[in-house]
Chains A and B, each alone.
Chain A
């Protein structure tokens, strides 16, 4: 076991890193799109539409692609989901629309809906078009807090409906998780920023960046200054491992990923030689795969239960394994090992389930590592809400079917609300539904 953590930039040549962080799913060309489109059966009451949180009319847009009308196809998509471009890249389609595709029953291979959606939306956006025409001004103004998927979707729909929107975000750049959280190879070429520009192109949305709720702005101010407020705050906190782990080399996965996404030169980003990731969700997969692709030699995900219980989809798990990530299961961190404040390894204890409860087995093993990433989930920072009186459930904001919070005039959506799916596409659906509800309220 090395006594000095080996964390260094430039483990791989620049061209290898460029390849590793290139588009993981290269887009379809016109021919591929046409061939794929023909496999769609144009189902009656199509199961894929039901499976899509935003309810995109998938058979219709696929048929529009088949009929050489990708612009029309994109309009069909954007009508329900203005972030259709990003969702085409990051949606776990294998557990949503493509899982529902009847072609699975027929031949075990779904229509490639995600790629077709990307073909249509990319074609549309490449032409520099904007979607939608704003309704007559209502004279109403809405504050949307959080410029992630939920906030962007909400802001766009509100703008379309004729309202004036101010879109706040704590960071200096809009996009939320699309910009700071998604694995780099899923949204290449600055797509998140391009999509934000595309959405703002509709007009009527004023960006207010670097404004953190609870610090630079308060909910009380917003309630006073606007006719309605939408909260798309995301999850600001990172869950702790539950052990003393304050050593150099122990980091939050989401923060490292954010740095990675914003790095202008990935060869300058330090990365460990041996890495351990603790968690079982998408963040765990993303940090593991991306550090491998940066050149980490030995990356292990350790998850406390069985692989089938991991939140990351089978596809994502296989992606990591193909990248050379080792997934170990049924173990929980016991203590970090280090000297002089620097990490050198971590000890795990085996786990098993007894009557649905996880218990330690008493067996232990140790993994040497230079970097340890916490990826066991994120939490909502409720104190940003101040004394607003907004009711919470399970530590997140409680909303009704219209995404109304318990406080009149305040709506919420995305990861910060309780009962959600923690998916980009679900956040978009929240934002859109809230906008429709806000519009109804403001016109009443």
Chain B
């Protein structure tokens, strides 16, 4: 039986499914409801320094990209950090931790970039017996205009400096939450590690504008006729987040640094992908805001069943297992050849593969056979790009099958053989030891297409 419990840089939780610092973790009422449903931990919505709380807009804080059936694919917000008094939050945190000792409770923090400000709040948080802190260096809107959030996260030196203060003035594990609004995520991650961070969490939201009301010429969502950029999240951002996670996992400077994965996680599968790329826990916000806290039940059962099926005992056994399979483009085998294959039994003959290939790619899919509608790949034209499989509405109908070694690729005319990367390819002027193809040339059937004359 799989054991879902985790020990994430010293923070224990019954499962890796945590709620991210966000509206769902703004107060005890929500957090307790989340724990009841089974969430392994929460990161309490970001606290600011003592004094008058921030003020949120009373116009719309959220916007979304919907499918026609109103499924939410992308989500954005312009909400600020908690707008409740610090004292109230701290009292609730203390009580909740006392009532739910087995659950992780991490407190997100964001105060001005001075040593005194951080020192002051760290002491207050420590009194609550919370399990750790997460430094909000990611919030891209509102707070960043005041020199906090992403304004810190975008400057590696600041990240390192504030992280160091936190480690210096607190016994608590420190998680640094990274903003994706940078050109290279590895720089702030490495800075956090240099500053002594116990872990990083990523991604925070991406700068976004959800759309424009073209009837009134007003960007959305607007407050009183004016809009501002927000932070983008939800399923649409997951590939961006996964790439950033993998970059940190692969970088020598940060390899092995614990990560909490965030970005568009809706199901156990999404979570497992983050774990496979090196995350010890995951954090969820949008899916909870769209569907409610109960989704964690699906995540728990899905991960358990997966682990049982695959024979993994602990979540930690699976962390980073896919990382060795990530590499740079230049290391990909250029002698590996796949061809698209359409399974005629499951093909529904919509022709999307054909028109996508014909209009925009390699003209490798024919449309007729014996006068009937029939879609078939011509191996002599197929470059194995996967576009046809991507646009095919039937899952598994089009597969990309590797040509076995020794067969001839009718497109190139070469026998499939060997393993050359760009580093050894003769077309690469920088190649150190260029090699020609290992397989013999048998002549190609590929013919360059003629452009139809304009009418």
Contact = CB atoms under 8 A, between A and B. Distances in A.
A binds B: yes
B349 A102 contact: yes
Given A106-B393, A106-B394, A44 B350 contact: yes
Given A44-B367, A45-B367, A47-B373, A105 B352 contact: no
B354 interface: yes
Given A105-B349, A106-B394, A44 B354 contact: yes
B67 A102 contact: no
Nearest to A104: B348
Interface string A91-134: 00000000000110110000000000000000000000000000
A106 B348 contact: yes
A43 B69 contact: no
Interface string A22-53: 00000000010011011001111111000000
B68 interface: yes
Nearest to B69: A35
B351 A44 contact: yes
Interface string B329-358: 000000000000000000011111011000
A107 B315 CA distance: 37
Contacts of B349: 47, 102, 105
B68 A66 contact: yes
Interface in A135-167: none
> Considering residues A35, A46, A47, A102, which has the most beta carbons from chain B within 10 angstroms of its beta carbon?
A102
Contacts of B69: 34-35, 38
A42 B68 contact: no
Nearest to A35: B69
A35 B68 contact: yes
Given A106-B393, A106-B394, A44 B67 contact: no
Nearest to B351: A44
B352 A42 contact: yes
A43 B392 CA distance: 11
Contacts of A34: 68-69
Given A47-B373, A105-B348, A41 B393 contact: yes
Contacts of B67: 38
A31 B394 CA distance: 25
A17 to B, nearest CB: 37
B350 to A, nearest CB: 4
A172 B35 CA distance: 75
A45 B68 contact: no
Contact of A43 (B68, B70, B350): B350
Nearest to A59: B350
Contacts, number: 38
Nearest to A65: B68
A177 B111 CA distance: 77
B351 A43 contact: yes
A37 B348 contact: no
> Considering residues A34, A37, A43, A47, which has the most beta carbons from chain B within 10 angstroms of its beta carbon?
A43
B68 A41 contact: no
Interface string B56-98: 0000000000011110000000000000000000000000000
Contacts of B394: 106
A44 B355 contact: yes
A51 to B, nearest CB: 12
Contact of B68 (A38, A47, A102, A106): A38
B373 to A, nearest CB: 7
> Considering residues B350, B354, B373, which has the most beta carbons from chain A within 10 angstroms of its beta carbon?
B350
Contacts of A47: 349, 373
Nearest to A45: B351
Nearest to B392: A41
Interface in B354-412: 354-355, 367, 373, 393-394
Nearest to A67: B68
B355 A103 contact: no
A41 B352 contact: yes
Interface string A8-19: 000000000000
A44 B68 contact: no
Contacts of B352: 41-44
B367 A102 contact: no
Contacts of A105: 348-349
A66 B68 CA distance: 7
B348 A103 contact: yes
Nearest to B394: A106
A45 B354 CA distance: 10
A359 to B, nearest CB: 39
B220 to A, nearest CB: 15
A106 B393 CA distance: 9
A45 B353 CA distance: 12
> Considering residues A34, A37, A66, which has the most beta carbons from chain B within 10 angstroms of its beta carbon?
A34
Contacts of B373: 45, 47
Contacts of A35: 68-69
A102 B350 CA distance: 6
B442 to A, nearest CB: 33
Contacts of A43: 350-352
Contacts of A45: 351, 367, 373
A102 B68 CA distance: 20
Contact of B350 (A31, A38, A41): A41
Contact of B348 (A38, A46, A102): A102
A332 B350 CA distance: 45
Nearest to A38: B68
Contacts of A42: 352
B71 to A, nearest CB: 10
Contacts of A103: 348
Contacts of B351: 43-46
> Considering residues B69, B70, B348, which has the most beta carbons from chain A within 10 angstroms of its beta carbon?
B348
A321 B394 CA distance: 35
A33 to B, nearest CB: 9
Given A44-B355, A45-B351, A47-B373, 12 more contacts: A34-B69, A35-B68, A38-B68, A38-B69, A41-B393, A43-B350, A43-B352, A44-B351, A46-B351, A105-B348, A106-B393, A106-B394
Q: Which 5 A-B pairs have the closest CB atoms?
A: A44-B351, A38-B68, A44-B355, A105-B348, A34-B68
27 contacts: A31-B70, A34-B68, A34-B69, A35-B69, A38-B68, A38-B69, A41-B350, A41-B352, A41-B393, A43-B351, A44-B350, A44-B352, A44-B354, A44-B355, A45-B351, A45-B367, A45-B373, A46-B351, A47-B373, A66-B68, A102-B348, A102-B350, A103-B348, A105-B349, A106-B348, A106-B393, A106-B394
Interface of A: 31, 34-35, 37-38, 41-47, 66, 102-103, 105-106
Interface of B: 67-70, 348-352, 354-355, 367, 373, 393-394
